Homo-oligomer: A and B are copies of this chain.
């Protein structure tokens, strides 16, 4: 332990929120309170934008109740952004702001881009000889960060999506009469198919259960093969539930549902979306009644059915980030490590991986976890994913709705002139 570096903590959130990104922030705050060398605990509003604009809030001033409530609150309580630091002037501003507020510890929860940002800020601090600790906290429903067993947010999204697939399956199967029907559920995942694949858990080991087909962005979409598989399923069960990852591409590499020839007045392509496109194909070629579900943001915000395992790991990643910094580490990302006992039970711990190993590396589903026909994932995937959705989070409710928290956001006084 080398706790000699006295100063303030800054924590921020970046990219798309997850159901558990606030649990990681709670973990950072809870652990930071344990260390005397930490004087203030600040939050950056809207990620690096908040750093550039000096928009900080005082997290130690929030009530304990509020900080505790972060564990089960969706969205990013500090706000997030998609802004990328690119110019050298941006990095200089970040360091200037850090110095002005004596920020000696920076924890940034995010996905690939955000780990890259943290890495670059770390290198800038080293270059300038500014003594500080920068630790990345993993976060992404996409589960596409390398080196970590899984990414906080992923377990919760596949738990909710799997429950939804189960429930839609109960609904559609109960309406299935001889003329058959189909339901296509579109989930997130633009390049990696982890989210779509995770809905295999809805089968609960029974191959007859939905989802009957999972379309992964990793596997080129072939219309004829797909229609044959839908027909085979409807012949067997009178209904068919298809889960599609939003980013599926045809054999020419074109996104399904992204007809770029129709542009609106601002030049945006008018996207039908993968599920709508598949619906048109099925109805148009098979005359089979087809409905769609597009979960969109609902899937990553569904804290009301989050995974306890995922939430606990998300919290642990926040805690571990602070402990690593106290140990003198910097330029590292916390990773989740799985240990499987002889009896098959799984336990979780955390480790560290250099940020340079994470940034801009995308982790895909191993090829041998995908079934031969490309329409399903196999028991290797199921073994991997099953422990991630274990346990439910007891959320407080009020008048029948979840009771989530909102930060007070007491602003920290600015010390610099606004950036140019």
Contacts and interface: CB of A to CB of B under 8 A. Distances in A.
Interface stretch (A31-39, A216-224, A288-296, A343-351): A288-296
Contacts of A391: 400
A79 B201 CA distance: 24
Contact of A168 (B168, B173, B301): B301
Contacts of A167: 74-75, 298, 301-304, 402
Interface string A269-292: 010110010001001110100011
Given A177-B81, A265-B285, A276-B276, A171 B75 contact: yes
A28 interface: no
A247 interface: no
A364 to B, nearest CB: 24
A293 B162 CA distance: 17
A193 interface: no
Contacts of A298: 164, 167-168, 185, 293, 295
A301 B170 contact: yes
Contact of A170 (B74, B273, B293, B296): B74
A294 B292 contact: yes
Interface of A is mostly: mixed
Contacts of A82: 175
A122 interface: no
A46 interface: yes
B292 A17 contact: no
Contact of A166 (B201, B285, B390, B402): B402
Given A166-B404, A283-B266, A172 B297 contact: yes
A386 interface: yes
A183 interface: yes
A397 interface: yes
Interface in A355-389: 386, 389
A159 interface: yes
Contacts of A231: none
A371 B170 CA distance: 37
A175 B17 contact: yes
A163 interface: yes
A282 B255 CA distance: 23
B159 A400 contact: yes
A165 to B, nearest CB: 9
Interface string A12-33: 0100110000000000000000
Contacts of A172: 75, 297
